[in-house]
Amino acid sequence: MMSAAAMGATAFQKALGAIHALSHPVGALYDTHHGLTNAVFMPYVLAFNRPAIEDKIARLAAYLGLAPTFDAFLAWVLELRAEIGIPHTLAGLKVDDANST
């Protein structure tokens, strides 16, 4: 079991991407809901990774019926977050720097 758990932990750190890599420690320190934390991080990680993912995101935007651009998809994500009440920053999840030591 310990070996399987260690392999699972390695898989989480290696292949889930930046959104999860940021959300896991924030959730562990501040007891935030994982999916909600992912939603807060998503637009920031998309913007950071834009040079590497722009073409794929443009195709995704087209599949969603949006203009086939990265900017159209990012605007859609931000609008969806606002519509369903996802905070724009971690402060909206009551995350501060109290546990930063």
Summarised one tens digit per residue, pLDDT across range 40-74 is 999 999 999 999 999 999 999 999 999 999 999 99
61 close to 68: Cβ distance less than 8 angstroms = yes
Is the predicted pLDDT of residue 15 greater than 60, yes or no?
no
45 close to 22: Cβ distance less than 8 angstroms = yes
Six-digit token pair at 51?
């040079």
Is the predicted pLDDT of residue 8 greater than 70, yes or no?
no
* The predicted structure's pLDDT at residue 3: 78
As its CATH architecture, domain 18-93 has Up-down Bundle (1.20)
Domain residue ranges in the chain:
18-93
* The predicted structure's pLDDT at residue 51: 96
